[in-house]
Structure 1
Amino acid sequence: MTAKELLAARAFRWCLLATGLLAVLAMAVLGYLRWRPVAAAPGWQYAVLVDDVEMIDSLAVSPAGELLGTTQHNHGKGELVRFDRNWQVTTLLSGLSKPAGLLPWRDGVLIAQEEQNMWVMYWAPSGARPLFRSDYAEGITKLSNGNIVILADRKNGELTEFNPDTGSSRILLSGLDKGEGLCAMPDGRIYFTEKQRNSSLYQYQAGEGPRAGGKLALFGGLQSPGFLLCTSQGIWITEDRTNDGRLLFWDFARLQVIAEHLHAPQSVLIRSDHELLLAEQGRSRLLLFSRNSKP
């Protein structure tokens, strides 16, 4: 082997070694991000209640007081499930396609499915039936007049109001860019986001009068927001990010970070004045957050 060939062979070996070291380093970084513990804000703690519910997504309490959830599998593999007092999981309804919204309604719950031309399903202890069709229904909420509002997660999506008594519907807003997260206040204020980096929280005023209609941006800087929960104190927001999702709270004046390093956090459900549940989809977990004082 000539000196030139020897140098080339050594360079090749060093290249292989460097590539291997970079691969090991990349795996270490990914492992750290994957298992990095959730960081809660001062005054907050969290505990794992369930850690084996794959693709856990929406949460709701049924009119009968049972804790329900959905698993967000697509193509008919999603489910509506119930958590008992020992946190055991029972399937109530299968055959759902990416169920991404859960709303207590009458004697049961409405289930929105985030695929094209799918039924919004009504489930009650007496059985399940389709209510109305919708495209890519990501969020579902209800107004004080009893009407239901659906948000479509697609390009050029819509915010649509549906009257369950007459079967009629009307588009409130169109041209939305993959709407995500939806909740409403008793006075008709509807809040939603669009799932993108540096997204904004938007407000729409339902009803009649000079304040009704229009898409009002309230603040920006949200990173892939995925869920909203309206309360009288403010709005809970989760950011659906794989390695660094956050749980946020907006008190109508300032935005607070309640938890970081979550893996694809989804729905939030208030359990009491000082406790809330959070579906952490990326780790297949149901978390309980508790606080020492109000945020």
Structure 2
Amino acid sequence: MIQTTSKNKGARAWYRTLRVALGGACLALLAALGFFAWQYFYPVQSADGWRFKVVHRDVPKAASLGPMQDGSLMVSQELPRGRGTIVRIHPDGRRQVMVANLSKPDGMVASHGGWVYSQEVDGAMVSFLKDGEVIDLFKGAHVQGLWNDGDDLYAIEDRKGRGRLFRYRWKDRDLTVVRDDLNEAESITRCTDGRLLYTEKERGVIHQLTEDRSDPVIVANLNKPTFLMCDDRGMWISEDSTHRARLLLVDSRGEQRTILSFLKAPQSIVRTATGTYLLAEGGRNRVLELVPPPDR
């Protein structure tokens, strides 16, 4: 009769423990992969009465949008290391590269018959595109948000604790630092009531720019707020989160409503001439069209 030694018993016990541990690790890994897959593939959800559809696919890292009168759409494609572009998507779907060899082109705004755009890298120029010619305006560090205010152009830097808000005067090219020491400030816009607002993404807040420099927080507890846009419905906020991001609407009474959810890194939102909205969903390389309820 073969006797089992204590050494063999110990080895079998060790292998059983190892199998259990590996099985548990595999289950945990599968659960994690399943969770992330669910977050990525779970379809976008819209609020009651609102509808959306995909109008442009295969738009790498879509960031800023600019509708044109002929139905074309200007889009900044926020790719790094000289692979970024600004493209014009014509009504027939044809795509025309307007500016190439950019690094993370993010902000873009119509101005003076052309387009101002920024690059979210250190030392890049904020530039002006008109009639195929590019003119450099001023240098910044990780400039993202842009807002054209008639005689003035505002630009804001997305930097940790060292961001600046610039005001560029078109008539004499004067550049002024309006604010500094901002923390991941990504967007600036003026609302229909005259308020000038900007975001601080890491802090999850939106500030109102004031003459006394107090800049009160008007909306807080947001999840990575990035682009802002105001119209007669209120203030639109997109959340630059990789998973389960939202498009929010804050009305004139300060009531917040989720219009779209389960987005992936949404960026700018713009209103079209027909009353719909276009939203760049950079995390899924596409542009969505959002249709409001028929009563509005």
Instruction: Give the TM-score of the pair, scaled to structure 1.
Output: 0.91
Q: Quick check: 1:82–1:90 contact (8 Å CA) kept in 2?
A: yes
Who is 1:148 aligned against?
153
Equivalent runs, 1:59-74 vs 2, <5 Å: 59-62=65-68, 66-74=72-80
How far does the alpha carbon of each residue in 1:164-216 deviate from its partner, in whole angstroms, 9 at most, with x for none? 2211122222221110221114675211111125x1111114xxxxx564312
- Indicate the SS of the match to 1:139: strand
- Indicate the SS of the match to 2:181: strand
- Indicate the SS of the match to 1:68: strand
- Indicate the SS of the match to 1:179: coil
Higher Rg of the two aligned structures: 2
- Asked if 1:84 corresponds to 2:90, the answer is yes
- Asked if 1:292 corresponds to 2:293, the answer is yes
- Asked if 1:16 corresponds to 2:22, the answer is yes
Look up the equivalent residue of 1:221 and give its one-letter code.
N
Q: Quick check: 1:274–1:292 contact (8 Å CA) kept in 2?
A: no
- Indicate the SS of the match to 1:222: coil
- Indicate the SS of the match to 1:286: strand
Equivalent runs, 1:229-248 vs 2, <5 Å: 229-248=229-248
Counterpart Cα distance in 2 of 1:201 and 1:218: 6
How far does the alpha carbon of each residue in 1:229-249 deviate from its partner, in whole angstroms, 9 at most, with x for none? 122432111000011110011
Who is 1:208 aligned against?
none
Counterpart Cα distance in 1 of 2:166 and 2:45: 37
Larger mean Cα displacement after TM superposition, 80-89 or 275-284:
80-89
Equivalent runs, 1:110-259 vs 2, <5 Å: 110-144=116-150, 146-154=151-159, 155-185=161-191, 188-196=194-202, 199-205=204-210, 213-253=213-253, 254-259=255-260
Counterpart Cα distance in 2 of 1:166 and 1:202: 28
User: Aligned pair in 2 of structure 1 residues 231, 186: CA closer, same or farther (>3 Å)?
Assistant: closer
Counterpart Cα distance in 2 of 1:183 and 1:244: 25
- Indicate the SS of the match to 1:278: strand
User: Aligned pair in 2 of structure 1 residues 294, 223: CA closer, same or farther (>3 Å)?
Assistant: farther
Who is 2:281 aligned against?
280
- Indicate the SS of the match to 1:142: strand
Counterpart Cα distance in 1 of 2:295 and 2:115: 29
How far does the alpha carbon of each residue in 1:77-118 deviate from its partner, in whole angstroms, 9 at most, with x for none? 210101111333221110212111111011210001111121
Look up the equivalent residue of 2:157 and give its one-letter code.
A
Q: Quick check: 1:114–1:136 contact (8 Å CA) kept in 2?
A: yes
Counterpart Cα distance in 1 of 2:97 and 2:71: 17
- Indicate the SS of the match to 2:173: coil
Look up the equivalent residue of 1:148 and give its one-letter code.
L
Two-structure CA RMSD over aligned residues (Å) = 1.9
Instruction: Give the TM-score of the pair, scaled to structure 2.
Output: 0.91
How far does the alpha carbon of each residue in 1:7-60 deviate from its partner, in whole angstroms, 9 at most, with x for none? 111111121122122212211111111100001000111111122111111101
Q: Quick check: 2:245–2:264 contact (8 Å CA) kept in 1?
A: yes
**How big is the shift at 1:69?**
0.5
User: Aligned pair in 2 of structure 1 residues 69, 13: CA closer, same or farther (>3 Å)?
Assistant: same
Who is 1:96 aligned against?
102
User: Aligned pair in 2 of structure 1 residues 169, 232: CA closer, same or farther (>3 Å)?
Assistant: farther
Consecutive unaligned residues of structure 2, counting only runs of 5 or more, are 1-6
Query: Percent of aligned positions with the same letter in both sequences?
Result: 26
Counterpart Cα distance in 1 of 2:13 and 2:192: 76
Counterpart Cα distance in 1 of 2:70 and 2:134: 16
Q: Quick check: 1:148–1:162 contact (8 Å CA) kept in 2?
A: yes
- Indicate the SS of the match to 2:172: coil
Match of 1:54 among 44, 54, 60: 60
Larger mean Cα displacement after TM superposition, 129-138 or 283-292:
129-138
Who is 1:266 aligned against?
267
Runs of 4+ in structure 1 off by over 4 angstroms are: 62-65
User: Aligned pair in 2 of structure 1 residues 127, 291: CA closer, same or farther (>3 Å)?
Assistant: same
**How big is the shift at 1:269?**
1.1
Q: Quick check: 2:72–2:91 contact (8 Å CA) kept in 1?
A: no
Larger mean Cα displacement after TM superposition, 135-144 or 57-66:
57-66
Q: How many residues align?
A: 288
Who is 1:26 aligned against?
32
How far does the alpha carbon of each residue in 1:130-179 deviate from its partner, in whole angstroms, 9 at most, with x for none? 122222211000224x1101111112211111112211122222221110
